[in-house]
Amino acid sequence: MQEVLSLLAQLASDWEYDGEITEETYLFADLGFQSLDAVVLGNSLQERFGKPIPYADLLAEIGQREVQDVTIGEWVEFTYRHLQDGD
Per-residue pLDDT of 53-86, as tens digits, reads 999 999 999 999 999 999 999 999 999 999 987 5
Q: Tell me if 83 sits within 8 A of 51, measured CB to CB.
A: yes
State the residue range of the domain holding 57: 2-84
pLDDT of residue 19: 77
- Pick the residue with more confidence: 14 or 32? 32
pTM: 0.83
- CB neighbours (10 Å) of residue 53? 19
Looking up residue 57, the CATH number of its domain turns out to be 1.10.1200.10
Q: Quote the pLDDT of residue 56.
A: 92
How would residue 13 be classed by pLDDT, with cut points 50, 70 and 90?
Answer: low
Domains in the chain: how many in total?
1
Print the SS3 string covering the chain.
CHHHHHHHHHHHHHCCCCCCCCCCCECCCCCCCCHHHHHHHHHHHHHHHCCCCCHHHHHHHHHCCCCCCCEHHHHHHHHHHHHHCCC
